[in-house]
Structure 1
């Protein structure tokens, strides 16, 4: 009975996470302010809340136990998150959320599967079937009729930016798995759940720093003021 319970628990978490993610995207799309300031604020706010916890975790783990490889993974994950967020903002400016969001979430499903193979992990045939079904389903959601499913429906800048967002999602999804595995194997003193929350907080910090750097580099300093 233990395995079905864990499977149900995991399924509930995935569904709840998906609902939160969709709600966040709808909120971001409907936001009348700047998309950049919204996403930056959405990174800084939880970072501030988690900051005391991060300090405690580092005191338990020891800062020296977090070597350069871990911080490299955090940086790469932050870059992937920034690519995803910027791509999504651009896509929403040019297309309808009913089209953009399914594409941005569908493509990473297959991309992550392919990416895991490249890093030496294997997937079952059932996993690949699930990837394909989910991808096709997400791509079909915006279509009212099957006759609407044609290449021309996807040849626009909104879809291009959603594909860029999908690439960012793929990057951080694969990197996050590697980083969490490293934390669990190479550190001690915290449970898996505590490590996951710790990594989440560190990830928020990386996202915020990279977004700030990007806004400064692209001369969008006014977005920083709007964040506050």
Structure 2
């Protein structure tokens, strides 16, 4: 990895942790992330003009994928907000980052893509699963089903389902989009175009969710008057962080290095949350975080 790639990914790691800290600090709701996504859409508005020729070439199937990914992204944000309201960021953050790896692996086997996973990757996935089992334990001898039925744990799983969903959908959508637009745009431009579509679709899904929920509508007013600055900052940082990840890929010989380096956000986010919010730091939690981190590194490099 080059110095510039390490620098870009490091900034993106800190940015990812930062927007999670900002949102956790506000006891977020769907309304908070609606406002954050609104800010992201406004930042991306020039893209509607830049990629105007791409819109007319999108197939109905890709539009369907864009619609579905917006729903899964909304599930992710709603689940993440609920997990942060119900429990510790030092528990929810590693779970939401790790569980999708397990779910995507299961889906790959279901869809007949299991041969794509190497032995090292499979070992890493099993290590991640073990770490996720340890994370919520108060003590090593306190293994109980109740550890995994807490609202924080369940909403973290809900958010992870959203991440798994949009990851799988985005993969197929980008394949289709690259095939359709390969003569009009470069691969990087197509990816940026898809981020624009995905963000706008997510905004619509969150807007619908907030619109039909009386509680969320009240929360939207509260967020606007009390936390709009934090929400807007989160939205801008979310978009910028992913842009940095995409930019870093141009400076590495293997994108797996990017995926592995990004996992630094797990111990970093958990440790900062423990100190910033004075969250409990039980030995099983710290051990679980370390195990998950190691497993994900193995998955990324395997």
Superimposed CA distance per residue, residues 129-186 of structure 1 (whole angstroms, 9 cap, x where no aligned partner): 2222234335545657533554332221221111111111110111111111111112
In the alignment, the residues of structure 1 paired with residue 37 and residue 203 of structure 2 have an alpha-carbon distance, to the nearest angstrom, of: 6
Deviation of 1:36 (Å): 2.7
1:221 to 188, 207, 217: 217
Structure 1 segment 119-134 matched on structure 2, within 5 A = 119-121=111-113, 122-134=116-128
Superimposed CA distance per residue, residues 84-134 of structure 1 (whole angstroms, 9 cap, x where no aligned partner): 111111111111111222222221111011223333433222222222223
TM, length-normalised to structure 2: 0.64
For the 8 Å contact 2:136–2:148, the answer to whether it is kept is no
In the alignment, the residues of structure 1 paired with residue 190 and residue 208 of structure 2 have an alpha-carbon distance, to the nearest angstrom, of: 27
For the 8 Å contact 2:136–2:147, the answer to whether it is kept is no
1:110 to 102, 106, 109: 102
How many residues in Structure 1 have an aligned counterpart in Structure 2?
219
TM, length-normalised to structure 1: 0.83
Could you tell me which runs of 5 or more consecutive residues in structure 2 were left unpaired when the two chains were aligned: 229-302
Greater relative contact order, per chain length (Cα 8 Å cut-off, separation 6+): 2
Tell me the SS of whatever aligns to 1:104.
Answer: helix
Could you tell me which runs of 5 or more consecutive residues in structure 1 were left unpaired when the two chains were aligned: none
Question: 2:275 aligns to what?
Answer: none
Deviation of 1:222 (Å): 3.3
CA RMSD, aligned part only? 2.6
In the alignment, the residues of structure 2 paired with residue 41 and residue 119 of structure 1 have an alpha-carbon distance, to the nearest angstrom, of: 36
In the alignment, the residues of structure 2 paired with residue 92 and residue 103 of structure 1 have an alpha-carbon distance, to the nearest angstrom, of: 12
For the 8 Å contact 1:109–1:135, the answer to whether it is kept is no
In the alignment, the residues of structure 2 paired with residue 201 and residue 148 of structure 1 have an alpha-carbon distance, to the nearest angstrom, of: 46
1:169 to 163, 178, 184: 163
